[in-house]
Chains A and B, each alone.
Chain A
Amino acid sequence: MTAVTIDGCETLPQVFLRKCAERGASVAMREKEFGIWQSISWQQYREFACDVGNGLLSMGLQRGDVVSIQSEDCKEWLFADVGILLAGGVVNGVYATYQARQVEHTLADSRTRFLFVEDEEQLDKYLEIQDQLPAIEAVFVFDWQGLRGFEHALVKPIEDLYALGREYAKQHPHDIEECVSKGRSEDLAVLIYTSGTTGMPKGSMLSHRYILFQMQLAPDYFPLTEKDEILTYLPLCHVAERVFSGWLPIAHGTTINFAESPETIFQNLQELSPTFVFAVPRVWEKFYSRITTAMSEATWVGRKAYELALKVGMRRAEKLLAGSTPSAADDVLYEIADRLVFRNIKKLLGLDRVHGLISGAAPISESLLKWFLALGLTLDEAYGQTETGIVTMTRKGMLRFGTVGPAFANVDIKISAEGEILIRSLGQFNGYLNLPEKTAKTVVDGWVHTGDVGVLDEEGNLSITDRLKDIIITAGGKNITPSLIENELKFSPYISDAVVIGDKRKYLTCLVMIDRDNVEHYAQTNAIPFTDYKSLCGRSEIVALIGNSIEQVNKGFSSVESIKKFRLINILLTAEDEELTPTMKLKRNFVSKKYSKLIESMYSP
């Protein structure tokens, strides 16, 4: 395949060294230490990455060796990431939420030689399975706290690696440059294991061509420059966060800010007010439900003002959506609503400076997009997967809800006879590691079979219907796309996620994961006593509340598509649980198996 180049560079390390030299002391990233944001410049980023790279070279890293990083997002994650690539290695990110058994699979399958772990907790996972992983020659720990006095032949604090690297650089000052200049576009750079809903995760092989293809999408498609600020909060092992927080900033100088933890995303957003936000629908939904909840607590005046403003905003949004220009009066009213109400809401959410908003990684509900539009925020939807990279995005000002936009340049899309979306892109992956048959099944004649069903309109806009294997065929022979219904369900502030079931069944049912904060708040305001999560889910008032939300959604669908029965999942699920993907989506297959009894209870008379 033809190489993708940026300023004559064909690999990530080449771009990195060149751009760091240009940017010098300007801020590359910020991380909170003891409550204060500390900055790291591009110069420092480069120094730390080179220390890692030199350190690995001194330990005998060969071109193409796999090095894994098992950590939550932090600055060391990126130092290691780039450092490994500088030395010619291949990076494999391991989710910090994985249990030891899952860690073992990816480390063994990828033949990892060196391992980076975040802290004591992650280290313990390795120690539990060290006997099964003889290929690992050294383990470096980012945070040595709690390990004082701990001795292990292979385990060292990361500072030791930095020191090794600096020592090595004194004797071999040009090794890194040489290593980097040898890099080629087709070289394997990154492994990304996708959270297969069935069986063990598969490792997608990504080359520098793949990475640079994503890098050059800005600023033409993604409005990103060195002036922009973004918040990093999704796992860096996930391809979407790697694109936005790892690769694009290296190419375009955007400053990244690490969220303190997954629980503090909203505080951090408020503090930073980033100019560019990439989020999964779950987060966008949370913005909406936070405001809805805040409004129910507001004073009468506050509530009325919000209702009026929203009415004005919605009217304008509808006109924009219909393709007509809002009248002068609409604009004036909107301006007033914005000054009095929306601006405060946007400040509260940390969205007052934002100019690029992108939703991806899962389908988003149209009602939600409309709400944001009413506030004056246009959300763009992007589409892609690990195997293809990000390949489409809606274009600013087009406002066509329900589509994920046309393909980027050098991306071809076609729909197969079965309705499956096939993609051929300059930036696609190099197949699955150790799985030639799976690769041959996925990439046929150069086209990636995405497993998604969709349609292309006459202007080339792609719409995603659902996952091919998720399409439900009821006992009556009707084809139903569950994600369409699920998205509308999730728009309810009380429903966090839902799985619609009904394949080969007489009618549709669903399992619901409630939105804990909002449902608790509802119970509180309506004096419904409960103790813990389980008892909350067991209250008949709460079941009725969810039932109501489902009834509302049912009205928008035909009777075969309506949900006849539902059950609440009464266990509070966290990212550690296997029911959820690392981005907190319910895994359909896993959930249907695990809760099969609950599901059967909805079909037994």
Chain B
Amino acid sequence: MTTPLLELRNIETFYGPIMAIRGVSLQVFEGEIVCVLGANGAGKTTLLKTATGALNSSKGQVLLQGKEIQNRDPDWVARQGIAHVPEGREVFPLLTVEENLMMGAYSRRDKEAVRADFDAVYSYFPPLRDLRGRLAAYLSGGQQQMLAIGRGYMSKPRLLLLDEPSLGLSPTLVQDIFHIITRLNKEEGLTILLVEQNANVALQVSQRGYVMEVGGMVMDGASDDLLKSDDIKEFYLGKKEQGIRGKRRWKKRKTWR
């Protein structure tokens, strides 16, 4: 079996006395899109932050191509080729679009290639080209999300971590963004670990998925299988069998099988 590009083994992460992640393991192989689903507070963001070193884990390992990288400084992890696109479109508001993208390429020395990548970003996200001189603060939500992903791309990563790219975007924009994510994966061979609440779209674009609940993994499998699972249908896709009364407020107990 090939070594996974990124592997988490039995990660436990605390916020003070509170255990936010209780023993989570996960694998991402080269060239895949893998999604992690879960409700608010399930620990998805903590998982990404632990992977990039923004948070330290108290137990377990993070392996990048079989090499342990847990608890290293985030900038060091970034230089190893893991780009983290944080939740909520955290762009630098007082920098222009171009300056934001430059920040993504901060650690790179290959000036020629960087220039080429600018063009690549603009071709994936055409609206950004016209807005390159504008302050990021004045972009719309969708444009900011594009910029954040573009900035992640500019570091020429081996692995892109996306934290809820669909957050607060209109349904058509969500479609657009995910279309681009799929293209980045297909055309550039970029490996992507995607954290999402929008289960439907996340399972459509990904090959495999994990489901998190209260800090632990409860299910994993091929995305096609997850889409067929009764629990996923009811709890993440909101599809309920119609009861005899037409509507049903109670939820059946989750079994995760």
Contacts and interface: CB of A to CB of B under 8 A. Distances in A.
B60 interface: yes
B126 to A, nearest CB: 39
A527 B61 contact: yes
Nearest to B251: A121
B244 interface: yes
30 contacts: A120-B248, A120-B249, A120-B250, A124-B243, A124-B244, A124-B250, A128-B244, A146-B250, A150-B245, A520-B23, A523-B23, A524-B10, A524-B22, A524-B59, A527-B9, A527-B10, A527-B59, A529-B7, A529-B25, A530-B25, A530-B217, A531-B219, A531-B220, A532-B256, A533-B256, A572-B256, A574-B253, A574-B255, A576-B253, A576-B255
Interface in A411-439: none
Contacts of B8: 529
Interface residues of B, number: 28
B218 A532 contact: yes
A340 interface: no
B60 A527 contact: yes
A120 B257 CA distance: 25
A119 interface: yes
Given A146-B249, A150-B245, A532-B220, A524 B12 contact: yes
A535 interface: yes
A576 B255 CA distance: 10
Chain A contact residues (Cβ within 8 angstroms of B): what range? 20 to 34
A523 B217 CA distance: 14
A127 B242 CA distance: 13
Interface of B: 7-10, 12, 22-26, 59-61, 210, 217-220, 243-245, 248-250, 253, 255-257
A572 B255 CA distance: 7
A29 B219 CA distance: 40
A119 B249 CA distance: 11
A572 B218 CA distance: 11
Interface string A275-297: 00000000000000000000000
A532 B12 CA distance: 16
The residue among B60, B210, B255 with the most chain A CB atoms within 10 A of its own CB is: B255
A455 B10 CA distance: 50
A532 B10 contact: no
Interface string A531-546: 1111100000000000
Nearest to B12: A524
A128 B244 CA distance: 6
Main secondary structure of the interface of A (DSSP, over half): loop
A531 B245 contact: no
Nearest to B218: A532
Contacts of A124: 243-245, 248, 250
Contacts of B219: 531-532
B150 to A, nearest CB: 32
A528 interface: yes
B250 A119 contact: yes
Interface of A: 119-121, 124, 127-128, 145-146, 150, 520, 523-524, 527-535, 571-572, 574, 576
- Complex A-B, nearest 5 residue pairs according to Cβ-Cβ distance, in ascending order: A529-B25, A146-B249, A121-B250, A531-B217, A524-B23
B257 A571 contact: yes
Nearest to A528: B10
A531 B210 contact: yes
A523 B23 CA distance: 9
The residue among A150, A532, A533, A535 with the most chain B CB atoms within 10 A of its own CB is: A532
Contacts of A120: 248-250
A98 to B, nearest CB: 14
A535 B220 contact: yes
A533 B218 CA distance: 7
A121 B218 CA distance: 24
Contacts of B26: 531
Contacts of A576: 253, 255
Contacts of B248: 120, 124
A524 B13 CA distance: 13
B235 to A, nearest CB: 15
Contacts of B257: 534, 571-572
B27 to A, nearest CB: 8
Contacts of B23: 520, 523-524
Contacts of B24: 531
A520 B25 CA distance: 12
A149 to B, nearest CB: 10
Contacts of A572: 255-257
A574 B252 CA distance: 12
A529 B9 CA distance: 5
A523 B10 CA distance: 8
Contacts of B61: 527
Nearest to A532: B219
Nearest to B220: A531
A528 B256 CA distance: 21
A273 to B, nearest CB: 25
Nearest to B7: A529
Nearest to A128: B244
